[in-house]
Amino acid sequence: MEREEVIKLWDLFECDFLGLRVEGEVVRERMEEIIMKKGKVAVLDFEGVRGITHAFADEVVGIFTSAFGKEWVQRNVRVINANENVKFILNLAVKLRLRQSQRKETD
């Protein structure tokens, strides 16, 4: 059985900039299907995508980070063909969610 399933973002949206939270929600729902129901790693293929917003990144990795932690995301989500800007925004979304979780623990 193949352990990974690729989500080609260009094929989904035919757009080189993904900025809407609703676009991220579409991707996250597909990721949930792959990870939770099929038990596979979700591979996000950013080929052809030059940029994303924090809102999009928060939907595809931030929400998972809050729910399951950074290590879970690292085990279940893989990113390919992403430029440095996209990687930066994805990592920022994870860091902000982790910081938010730490604040809740200290309140």
Domain boundaries, the chain: 4-106
pLDDT at 2: 83
pLDDT at 54: 97
| Predicted TM-score (pTM) above 0.95 | no
pLDDT at 102: 79
Residue 21 near residue 56 (C-beta atoms within 8 A): yes
Q: What is the mean pLDDT of each run of 10 residues along the chain (107 residues)?
A: 92 97 98 98 98 98 96 98 98 95 72
pLDDT at 1: 53
Count of CA atoms in the C-beta half-sphere (13 A) of 92? 12
- Dist. CA 97–CA 83, nearest whole Å: 22
* Structure token pair of residue 30: 């597909």
